[in-house]
Amino acid sequence: MAQAASFRFHKMHGLGNDFVVIDARQAPVAIDAARARAIADRREGIGCDQLVLIEPSTTVDAKITFFNADGSLAESCGNASRCIAQFLGGESRVETAGGIIELKAEGAGATVDMGAPRFDWDRIPLAYPVDTASLPVAWEELEAPAAVNVGNPHVIFFVEDTDGVALDRLGPIIEHDALFPERVNVNVATVEGPQRLRLRVWERGAGLTRACGTGACATAVAAIRSGRVQSPVTVKLPGGELVIDWAPGGTIRMTGPATHVYEGEADGL
């Protein structure tokens, strides 16, 4: 693939979940898996959890493609979506592989309408039909997770102590389990109050991150659905807090900060 000798980029983050944002609406920038990995490399590239490519759309304000640090594609990314809301400004609608989402920049943050969650086993997707409210599976002390698709697939384990879970070891095992044909994001959560959750996430294709917007959405939905909490829910992640609002039958609204760190130009990537 022919690649531009250089490209401009923006470094942004949402609660420490960091992104390289490339605006290719005016000048195309070719990105494939290998180039995404090179850009995301923290030693020899720019460094990020995900790369976000903004391209023109014929139907909405922009087309957004999310690349994980390992070069794989992600259907959706909540924290990156808030950053895109800040980048585009005002109110906007964008297309992603996970569907159309609505963005609204608000002060130093943004609210994103992530669409409706999906619970059918074949829309998670899972390898075979089971009750997605409580999967009949276990990995050591982690058992009976809920499964939710919020633009990308998640499993959610409710535990007494999120810090006591060896997520760096169990996360990749669960992510690559045969039950999940498209792999899966792994969430471990503790209920801290009627409208409060604590959360750690192993992100598919990225590993442990300081925050995961879609993980917060999926976990809040699973907790509301099972009667553990009530909406709106404040989700505490290692990088900070997000507020998730959802009622059964409706769409998920996520509110939180988004930060522009710097703008630069890269050569040789």
pTM: 0.90
pLDDT for 13 beyond 60: yes
Answer yes or no: 83 catalytic: no
CA-angle at 77, arms to 72 and 82, nearest 5°:
140
- Domain borders along the chain are 6-115+257-267, 121-250
What confidence score (pLDDT) does residue 269 get? 87
pLDDT for 261 beyond 50: yes
pLDDT for 3 beyond 60: no
Would you say the C-alpha torsion 215, 221, 225, 226 has a positive or negative sign? Answer: positive
> What superfamily does domain 121-250 belong to in CATH?
Diaminopimelate Epimerase; Chain A, domain 1 (3.10.310.10)
Mean pLDDT in residue range 107-118: 95
Nearest CA-CA partner of 54 in 113, 10, 16, 108: 10
Residues across the chain:
269
d(CA 176, CA 170) in angstroms, rounded, equals 10
Q: Which amino acid belongs to residue 230?
A: Q
pLDDT for 7 beyond 50: yes
Task: Name the band, by pLDDT with cuts 50, 70 and 90, for residue 2.
Answer: very low
- What percent of the chain lies above the pLDDT cut of 90? 95
List, for residues 133-159, the tens digit of each pLDDT value. Answer: 999 999 999 999 999 999 999 999 999
- What percent of the chain lies above the pLDDT cut of 70? 98
pLDDT for 259 beyond 70: yes
Answer yes or no: 212 catalytic: yes
List, for residues 43-97, the tens digit of each pLDDT value. Answer: 999 999 999 999 999 999 999 999 999 999 999 999 999 999 999 999 999 999 9
* Strand 240-245 to 146-149 pairing: unpaired
> What superfamily does domain 6-115+257-267 belong to in CATH?
Diaminopimelate Epimerase; Chain A, domain 1 (3.10.310.10)
- From the list 48, 83, 212, 217, the catalytic residue is 212
Task: Name the band, by pLDDT with cuts 50, 70 and 90, for residue 4.
Answer: low
List, for residues 203-231, the tens digit of each pLDDT value. Answer: 999 999 899 999 999 999 999 999 999 99
**Average pLDDT of the residues of the chain:** 96
Looking at per-residue pLDDT, the higher value among 3 and 240 belongs to 240
What confidence score (pLDDT) does residue 22 get? 98
What confidence score (pLDDT) does residue 268 get? 81
Gyration radius from the chain CA atoms: 18
Burial class (CB in 10 A: 0-12, 13-18, 19+), 119: middle
CATH topology agreement for domains 6-115+257-267 and 121-250: yes
Task: Name the band, by pLDDT with cuts 50, 70 and 90, for residue 1.
Answer: very low
Residues 6+ apart with CB under 8 A from 232: 195, 243, 244, 245
pLDDT for 16 beyond 60: yes
What confidence score (pLDDT) does residue 197 get? 99
